[in-house]
Amino acid sequence: MGTNIVKVDKNFFRYLNNIQLKLILVFIAFTLICTLFGFFFGSFDISIKKFIYGNLSQLEKEILYQIRIPRVLLSAFVGAALGLAGACLQGLFRNPLADPGLIGVSAGAALGAVLSIVIFSNLLEHHFLGIYLLPISSVTGALVVILILYSFSKGFIYDGVTYMLLIGIAINALASVGIGILTFVSDDAQLRGLTFWMMGSFANSQWNLVIPSIFLILISIIWIIPQSRKIDIIQIGELEASRLGINVIKLKFIVIMSSAIMVGVSVSISGMIGFIGLVIPHLVRLIGGVNHNYLLIGSAFLGSSLLVLSDILSRITIQPAELPVGLVTSAIGAPFFLWLVLRIKKS
């Protein structure tokens, strides 16, 4: 398989047409602009002019470096992770309606997170490694769900799509039961933590959590992007792809693992943020095409920019309080999803 990997890399940009290359540059520029915008605007505006001349007050510096920058960077990477995971899972399951939320992966991650909040809460607070327990248990939750889904949908090749979504519904229901029970037995402090997970928010972004999260998401992105062409080819069928020399089992492993890590990390640090993973890949396909060399990169950057924007919205709409960002993305994503369903029905 060694030569095969090199082959895909060498031709990576040749599978992008000129329009797609330009679109990707536009997405990147848009992401950078949104990120900059996010640094300086919020319930407390920081003057860009003052920043450039280097005469920010102590308070402004504190806000910018300790609150604003980690928060915006985190939302950018979580957006990239969710958009990319959505695109990858839709590709792997060969189903445009797959989404980490719909198929229960986010719920699994949330259950993992909530488990660690309620059961290991002592450890979380008192051990210096405690802050990492939650991400790890969340990633594990996401991984377990993806493995369950996969092992079930593999057996039903022709009805795989329906079964997968039905299994997703069951997993979502089971996870809510688990979360419900844990909510019931939790004390007040734990309950506050739980609510945060349910709605999704970047309010608690601290550098010591943001850095490992960004690191893990970045590794997953680097791991998955070179597989783009193979995800294209798998669209003609897993068997056909393997006859073309693609190690489908390895590809599935990479897609499933990296998606689980990205979704798990995102949910663990920012809670349940719906619809990014479902809607962004569709938007990117509508704009520029379906091939994954374009789709994966495009989804990462568009997911990133739109989540940064959503977070800005969540910070400025009801100042000085803030909306959970999960509400913002769902409020925008749900109508879009509805429109999408109607559009599919029409064609």
Which of 11, 66, 162, 317 forms a contact with another protein (CB under 8 A)?
11
The distance of closest approach from Cβ of residue 240 to another protein in the complex, given in angstroms and rounded to an integer, is: 7
Which of 101, 202, 278, 285 forms a contact with another protein (CB under 8 A)?
285
229-248 footprint of another protein as x/- string (CB under 8 A): ---xx-xxx-xx-xxxxxx-
State yes or no: residue 226 binds another protein (CB under 8 A): no
Judged by beta carbon, residue 196 or residue 232, the one nearer another protein is 232
Which of 95, 116, 259, 268 forms a contact with another protein (CB under 8 A)?
95
State yes or no: residue 341 binds another protein (CB under 8 A): no
Which of 14, 126, 345, 346 forms a contact with another protein (CB under 8 A)?
14
Judged by beta carbon, residue 103 or residue 114, the one nearer another protein is 103
SS3 per-residue string spanning the chain: CHHHHHHHHHCHHHHCCHHHHHHHHHHHHHHHHHHHHHHHCCCCCCCHHHHHHCCCCHHHHHHHHHHHHHHHHHHHHHHHHHHHHHHHHHHHCCCCCCCCCCCCHHHHHHHHHHHHHHHCHHHHHHCCCHHHHHHHHHHHHHHHHHHHHHHHHHHCCCCHHHHHHHHHHHHHHHHHHHHHHHHHHCCHHHHHHHHHHHHCCCCCCCHHHHHHHHHHHHHHHHHHHHHHHHHHHHHHCHHHHHHCCCCHHHHHHHHHHHHHHHHHHHHHHHCCCCCHHHHHHHHHHHHHCCCHHHHHHHHHHHHHHHHHHHHHHHHHCCCCCCCCHHHHHHHHHHHHHHHHHHHHHHC
Judged by beta carbon, residue 11 or residue 66, the one nearer another protein is 11
37-76 footprint of another protein as x/- string (CB under 8 A): ----------------------------------------
∠51-81-316 over CA atoms, to 5°? 45
Of 1-9, 173-181, 204-212, 310-318: span binding another protein (CB under 8 A): 1-9
The distance of closest approach from Cβ of residue 247 to another protein in the complex, given in angstroms and rounded to an integer, is: 6
Which of 32, 290, 332, 334 forms a contact with another protein (CB under 8 A)?
290
Of 3-11, 43-51, 139-147, 331-339: span binding another protein (CB under 8 A): 3-11
Which of 7, 50, 127, 343 forms a contact with another protein (CB under 8 A)?
7
* Residues in contact with another protein by the rule CB under 8 A: 1, 3-4, 7, 10-11, 14, 94-96, 232-233, 235-237, 239-240, 242-247, 285, 290-291
